[in-house]
């Protein structure tokens, strides 16, 4: 029995489908895995030994590589994960060998407003509860590895404050002389906790640590999460882990985790996390779930390892980039593909009539509140006006030399006239267009979508980066701002300008990628500006250095690395059936 998504919640649909899931052994056989390559975590979740798989399949040709991105979303999201799962299911219905590669959800959104990232309706990744609540412990490993660095940092500062150089030397330590106001790292946890954005630590006596200002960020913003996303193997991860800059000395010299003798122990927490997780769609196609950084405050991509495995195990690998093409796709294009050496065959731009109306003048939806009534009736004018945002993102994909496919992620409330105008304008912009009803009908509703993607993958493309690594940092930031966001230019705070000048003289930073931090709700830094704003300047207020991940991170606007929990969060509706132990209410 397949439940009707118009009458049942996502968790109810997932729970019913889980009664007929394939075991991980069946999925392993489907993928042609050897016994020792499959590392079961129960009957329906497993890790994959990436080293054994990639070594065995080193000479096998790669499959087609597809990225799923979107237009600028509303605060409710526009269904990229749902479309990714729908596309995998649609390709499966067409008897294609296909695998999905998506990010692991953070506990912050899962327990807040946005919910899990499993998809929705009849296009989901299951089993839902393990997927949404910790999975195999990768994020917990990141939290422990990250906070261990902070333990090493703060204890070292305390000991240097309390002991002479002679005593430190007897303990095998050399004074690092870290400036308490130049600590770059913070603490992390995997919830949205606005009350921890600004804290004071070290209160008490001299044995309680050095008193100083500190903060918490959400776990998925950790540089270690970014390292998990881009690392090619354990050796690469270990090298990157030692390059993490935790702060600066009083002489302005960087202090790394290697300087603190903690990088090896941090990596020890991450050994098992480096193996991607194997789950499945509602219709039994395999899905790799690995890494989970947000795209507005981090790289926003599932792991390079998951994609490398997927491209060897299947003829089509469907991966997903966070938020809109200005955020997630830009980082997929200029960061992930640069690190991995992989070249995509096609990029999907997801659009909804709801989001197009929002960009065309409809009231902005507010998470946790009823959808404005204006969205319940046809308004072709709003949709047509909002298509400017869609066309902007199509042009961004085309600048990368990749074939764009627009997926109209259909809601059952959309009208034929509204859909028709999207088709006309997207095709005029040079994209293939497919209407997909995977949310309502699963893989059967995604056949047009799957066919358009297969067609696009057969067409040659001319993939190219927006910038080369020898391009000065200031020029890169301006290129992204102008070519991807549509800004007139860039401005810098005094602090950001000082950092930019210093970084452009640092030879170590010249070979690093540029990972922008910006609002995902607008092409600009201002989340309330919809459509395709003109006549604006991107303000850079800070520039962070993630030497381990290999990024320089310009921060635009007032975005925070620690989101807040809303007044009506999802955790209020999540509970457990005490008779069966099943979790209900996750969405």
Quick: pLDDT tens for 564-587: 998 888 899 999 999 999 899 887
Mean local confidence (pLDDT), 521-525? 95
**Phi, then psi, of 345 in degrees rounded to 5:** -95, -20
Q: Does 313 lie in the same domain as 248?
A: no
Where would I find the H helices in 262-318? 263-270, 304-313
Quick check: is 94 catalytic?
Answer: no
Q: Does 76 lie in the same domain as 15?
A: yes
Partner residues linked to 125 by β-bridges:
281
Angle between helical axes of 263-270 and 234-242 (0-180°, round to 10): 140
Q: Which of 295, 400, 410, 556 is catalytic?
A: 295
* 3-state class (DSSP) for residue 120: strand
Measured between alpha carbons, how far is residue 128 from residues 41, 173, 560, 578 in Å?
15, 48, 29, 18
d(CA 526, CA 538): 9
Angle between helical axes of 353-360 and 380-399 (0-180°, round to 10): 100
Q: How far, in whole angstroms, is CA 9 from its chain's centroid?
A: 25
Residues above pLDDT 70, as percent of the chain:
100
d(CA 393, CA 70): 8
Question: Residue 412: which pLDDT band, with cuts at 50, 70 and 90?
Answer: confident
Q: Does 322 lie in the same domain as 182?
A: no
Quick check: is 232 catalytic?
Answer: no
Domain assignment of residue 573, yes or no: no
On whether the CB atoms of residues 273 and 289 are closer than 8 A, the answer is no
Q: Tell how strand 346-351 and strand 64-70 pair up.
A: parallel
Q: Is the pLDDT of residue 510 over 80?
A: no
Q: Which of 47, 64, 93, 103 is catalytic?
A: 103
Q: Which of 80, 96, 238, 308 is catalytic?
A: 80
Mean local confidence (pLDDT), 350-356? 96
Which of 98-102, 267-271, 289-293, 307-311 is the least confident region?
289-293
Q: Does 415 lie in the same domain as 376?
A: yes
CATH number for the domain that contains residue 387: 3.40.50.300
Mean local confidence (pLDDT), 500-505? 90
**What's the pLDDT at 116?**
80
Domain assignment of residue 561, yes or no: no
Number of domains in the chain: 3
On whether the CB atoms of residues 548 and 242 are closer than 8 A, the answer is yes
Quick check: is 537 catalytic?
Answer: no
* CB atoms closer than 10 angstroms to residue 497: 14
Q: Does 143 lie in the same domain as 105?
A: no
Q: Which of 82, 110, 257, 267 is catalytic?
A: 82
CATH number for the domain that contains residue 520: 3.10.410.10
Cα angle 157, 546, 174; round to 5: 30
Quick check: is 235 catalytic?
Answer: no
Domain assignment of residue 92, yes or no: yes
Domain assignment of residue 333, yes or no: yes
Domain assignment of residue 582, yes or no: no
Where would I find the H helices in 135-211? 138-162, 165-170
Domain assignment of residue 325, yes or no: yes
Question: Residue 113: which pLDDT band, with cuts at 50, 70 and 90?
Answer: confident
Mean local confidence (pLDDT), 395-400? 98
**What's the pLDDT at 292?**
87
CATH number for the domain that contains residue 266: 3.30.1510.10
Which of 74-88, 214-228, 256-270, 333-347 is the least confident region?
74-88
For the chain, helix, strand, coil in percent to 5 are 40, 20, 40
Domain assignment of residue 587, yes or no: no
d(CA 386, CA 418): 11
Q: Which of 22, 398, 411, 566 is catalytic?
A: 411
* Domain endpoint, select from 227, 257, 272: 272
Domain assignment of residue 317, yes or no: yes
d(CA 284, CA 91): 12
**What's the pLDDT at 76?**
78
Tens digits of per-residue pLDDT, 116-151?
888 999 999 999 999 999 999 999 999 999 999 999
Mean local confidence (pLDDT), 66-92? 93
Quick check: is 319 catalytic?
Answer: no
Look-up: residue for tokens 């009664």? 19
Q: Does 263 lie in the same domain as 221?
A: yes
Quick check: is 82 catalytic?
Answer: yes
Measured between alpha carbons, how far is residue 88 from residues 47, 106, 210, 288, 553 in Å?
20, 22, 52, 12, 33
d(CA 290, CA 306): 7
Mean local confidence (pLDDT), 255-268? 98
Q: Which of 187, 191, 216, 323 is catalytic?
A: 323
Q: Which two tokens stand for residue 234?
A: 């354990």
Q: Is the pLDDT of residue 430 over 90?
A: yes
pTM for this one? 0.95
Tens digits of per-residue pLDDT, 463-493?
999 999 989 999 999 999 999 999 999 999 9
Quick check: is 187 catalytic?
Answer: no
Tens digits of per-residue pLDDT, 528-552?
999 999 999 999 999 988 999 999 9
Q: Is the pLDDT of residue 296 over 90?
A: no
Question: Residue 59: which pLDDT band, with cuts at 50, 70 and 90?
Answer: very high
Closest residue by Cα to residue 282 from 33, 86, 514: 86
**What's the pLDDT at 509?**
78
Quick check: is 103 catalytic?
Answer: yes
Q: Does 297 lie in the same domain as 411?
A: yes
Instruction: Answer whether the bond into residue 127 is a cis peptide, omega within 30°.
Output: yes
**What's the pLDDT at 424?**
98
DSSP annotation of 483 reads I
Q: Tell how strand 64-70 and strand 316-320 pair up.
A: parallel
Partner residues linked to 546 by β-bridges:
551
What is the residue-averaged pLDDT of the chain? 94
- DSSP count for the chain of H helices, then E strands: 21, 25
On whether the CB atoms of residues 476 and 510 are closer than 8 A, the answer is no
Q: Does 109 lie in the same domain as 34?
A: yes
Q: Does 80 lie in the same domain as 44?
A: yes
**What's the pLDDT at 367?**
75
**What's the pLDDT at 511?**
80
d(CA 570, CA 160): 45
Residues 6+ apart with CB under 8 A from 278: 24, 27, 28, 38, 45, 46, 47, 48, 286, 287, 288, 289
**What's the pLDDT at 83?**
97
Q: Does 119 lie in the same domain as 172?
A: no
Question: Residue 365: which pLDDT band, with cuts at 50, 70 and 90?
Answer: confident
Residues 6+ apart with CB under 8 A from 321: 67, 68, 69, 80, 295, 300, 301, 327, 328, 329, 331, 332, 336
Q: Tell how strand 245-249 and strand 178-183 pair up.
A: antiparallel
Q: Does 103 lie in the same domain as 143?
A: no
Mean local confidence (pLDDT), 502-515? 86
* Domain endpoint, select from 253, 272, 291: 272
Q: Does 106 lie in the same domain as 35?
A: yes
DSSP annotation of 195 reads G
- 251 lies in which domain range? 138-272
């Amino acid at each position: 029995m397949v439940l009707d998504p118009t009458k049942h919640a996502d968790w109810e649909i997932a729970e019913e489908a889980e009664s007929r899931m394939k075991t991980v052994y069946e999925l392993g056989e489907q993928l042609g895995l050897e016994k020792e390559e499959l590392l079961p975590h129960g009957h329906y979740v497993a890790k994959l030994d990436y080293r054994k798989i990639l070594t065995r399949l080193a000479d096998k040709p790669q499959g087609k590589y597809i990225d799923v991105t979107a237009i600028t979303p509303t605060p409710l999201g526009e269904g990229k994960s749902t479309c990714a799962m729908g596309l995998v299911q649609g390709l499966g219905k067409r008897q294609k060998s296909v695998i999905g590669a998506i990010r692991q959800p953070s506990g912050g959104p899962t327990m807040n407003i946005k919910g899990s990232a499993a998809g929705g309706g009849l296009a989901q990744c299951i089993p839902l509860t393990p997927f949404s609540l910790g999975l195999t412990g990768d994020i917990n490993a990141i939290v422990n590895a990250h906070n261990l660095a902070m333990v090493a940092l703060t204890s070292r500062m305390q000991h240097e404050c309390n002991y002479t150089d002679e005593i430190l030397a007897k303990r095998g330590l050399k004074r690092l002389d870290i400036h308490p106001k130049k600590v770059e790292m913070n603490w992390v946890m995997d919830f949205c906790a606005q009350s921890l954005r600004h804290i004071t630590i070290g209160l008490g006596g001299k044995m309680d640590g050095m008193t100083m200002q500190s903060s918490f960020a959400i776990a998925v913003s950790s540089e270690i999460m970014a390292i998990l996303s881009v690392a090619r193997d354990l050796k690469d991860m270990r090298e990157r882990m030692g390059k993490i800059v935790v702060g600066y000395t009083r002489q302005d010299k960087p202090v790394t985790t290697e300087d603190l003798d903690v990088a090896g122990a941090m990596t020890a927490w991450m050994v098992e996390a480096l193996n991607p997780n194997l789950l499945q769609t509602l219709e039994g196609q395999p899905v790799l779930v690995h890494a989970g950084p947000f795209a507005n405050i981090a790289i926003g991509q599932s792991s390079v390892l998951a994609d490398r495995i997927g491209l060897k195990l299947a003829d089509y690998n469907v991966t997903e980039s966070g938020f809109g093409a200005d955020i997630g796709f830009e980082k997929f294009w200029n960061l992930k593909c640069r690190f991995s050496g992989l070249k995509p065959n096609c990029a999907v731009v997801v659009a909804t009539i709801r989001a197009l109306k929002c960009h065309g003048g409809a009231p902005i939806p507010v998470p946790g509140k009823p959808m404005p009534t204006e969205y319940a009736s046809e308004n072709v004018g709003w949709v047509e006006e909002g298509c400017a945002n869609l066309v902007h993102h199509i042009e961004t994909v085309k600048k990368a030399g990749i074939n764009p496919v627009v997926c109209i992620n259909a809601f059952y409330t959309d009208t034929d006239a509204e859909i028709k105008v999207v088709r006309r304008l997207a095709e005029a912009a040079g994209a293939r267009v497919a209407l997909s009803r995977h949310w309502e009908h699963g893989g059967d509703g995604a056949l047009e979508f799957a066919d358009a993607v297969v067609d696009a993958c057969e067409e040659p493309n001319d993939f190219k980066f927006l910038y080369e690594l020898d391009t000065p940092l200031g020029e890169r930031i301006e290129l992204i701002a102008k070519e991807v966001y549509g800004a007139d230019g860039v401005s810098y705070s005094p602090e950001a300008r000082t950092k930019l000048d210093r970084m452009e003289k640092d030879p170590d930073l010249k070979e690093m990628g540029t990972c922008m931090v910006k609002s995902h709700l607008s092409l600009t830094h201002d989340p309330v500006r919809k459509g395709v704003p003109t006549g604006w300047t991107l303000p850079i207020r800070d520039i962070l250095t993630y030497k381990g991940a290999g990024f320089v991170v310009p921060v635009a606007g007032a975005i925070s690395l620690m989101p807040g929990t809303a007044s009506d969060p999802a955790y209020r509706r999540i509970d457990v059936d005490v008779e069966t132990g099943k979790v209900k209410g996750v969405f």
